[in-house]
Structure 1
Amino acid sequence: MDGEAEAVIQDIGDIMVDDALDEYNEETGKIDKELDDLQKEVEEKTNDIDIAITRSQIAER
């Protein structure tokens, strides 16, 4: 292959890698948001449970 063909192949490869990285970063961002949402939900439910336990302990007194 001549230098020009190799350069074109390299450019195509670079574009494919960039596209794959963009897609990976997009998917990772979605997963991070889902994890954040789930963590907030767990924290809210944990707080609700803590409140219920405290109320139960107060009621026992």
Structure 2
Amino acid sequence: MSSWARKFYAKQAEWSGIYWGNVEERHRRKAEWAYSVIGVPPKRVLELGAGGGQNAIALAEKG
């Protein structure tokens, strides 16, 4: 395996923890902020750069 491929796959493994992470308090704080800006549901939110989707889950939990 080439040097660049080793570096790439090592970084990919490091980043992949994002996709299996739990919804944490920081995600819920972001959801609270978004809720205060967006207003009362029902609303639609497009989460760009979603990573593992934890922010979207935290918003969905709020209703």
Measured against the shorter chain, the TM-score band is 0.3 to 0.5
TM-score (normalised: structure 2):
0.34
Which gives a bigger RCO, structure 1 or 2 (Cα 8 Å, sep 6+)?
A: 2
More helix by share: 1
Query: Which structure's CA Rg is the greater one?
Result: 1
TM-score (normalised: structure 1):
0.34
